[in-house]
Amino acid sequence: MEKKLQIFLQSGLLDKYILDESSTSESLKVEHYIETYPEVAYEYLKLQEHLEVLAKADAIEAPNFVLDQIKSTLATETIPVIKMARSKRRTPWYGIAASIVALLFAGGYYMKSEQNKALLDENQVVVDEIFDLRSDIEDNNTKLDDLMRQFMKLNNPETEKYVLRGNSRAKELKTVAYINAVEKTSMIDVVSTPQLSEDQFLHVWAEMNDHFVSLGILDPSQKDMQTLPYMEDALGISITIGPKDDTKNADNEVAEIALKGKNN
């Protein structure tokens, strides 16, 4: 370390710095040595003192008449005072380097944070899509199970198939009912329907010995099989078109069929 200081002190860089003749890189090096090594700081102060002494020694005293003229001029003229700009202290090179490193670190941290945020957003989207897909799969499995059960019921040897066609008042009407007396299930498939107004509905009825029992209202827009209540002693099935709270009568009946093995 002492050898390094000796080489620096003998290089003449400190003298050039005092005389303001050093380059930018040389100045940064000198300032680093001044702030790091007390020996260099001491030599720097000594050189400054010597320079000040030399300046005073070489100074030439101005004649008295010059001073009198200056005082006379100041008394008669108003001369604006110009503020001298204070010389800024040079920033040590390691301070600049530290600032650059800090900026690079901050920029890298910001970019990394943004990348992590984007990655988290992408992961969340993937997770949401997986949950949606899983939900769709579960819904499809449920629908497949329902279809499988319906298929098994329809293909059960005990299931009777009944086709109900509309009369002259509803020629476009066609439905197919599936009734299983063993498992006590009843379903109906709406194949086609006539044009209905907003206040008209398709009512399904079960014909009993001395009265009719409502089995509900059919939804023409539903493409899947619709379940109906099973009536143990039903003699037949009929369909009417009328208001939602309509009752069964001969005027609104558009289709009917007797169940097998039953007496009308």
Residue scoring higher pLDDT (56 or 86): 56
* Distance from C-alpha of 30 to C-alpha of 36, rounded to nearest angstrom: 10
What pLDDT is stored for residue 218 in this prediction? Answer: 92
* Distance from C-alpha of 177 to C-alpha of 188, rounded to nearest angstrom: 4
DSSP character string of 106-156: HHHHHHHHHHHHHHHHHHHHHHHHHHHHHHHHHHHHHHHHHHHHHHHHHT-
Distance between alpha carbon 165 and the CA centroid of its chain, in Å?
Answer: 55
3-state secondary structure of 141: helix
What's the chain's average pLDDT? 79
Over range 225-235, report the average pLDDT.
Answer: 90
Question: pTM of the full predicted structure?
Answer: 0.44
For the chain, percent of residues with pLDDT exceeding 70: 73
What pLDDT is stored for residue 88 in this prediction? Answer: 47
What pLDDT is stored for residue 87 in this prediction? Answer: 47
3-state secondary structure of 5: helix
Q: What distance, in Å, lies between the first and last C-alpha atoms of the chain?
A: 123
pLDDT at 82 over 60: no
Q: Are 241 and 197 in contact (CB under 8 A)?
A: no
pLDDT, tens digit (0-9, with 9 covering 90-100), for 6-51: 888 888 888 888 888 889 988 898 898 888 888 888 888 888 887 7
Q: Are 164 and 256 in contact (CB under 8 A)?
A: yes
Of 59-73, 193-207, 230-244, least confident by mean pLDDT is 59-73
For the chain, percent of residues with pLDDT exceeding 90: 25
Which H or E run includes 40?
helix 38-57
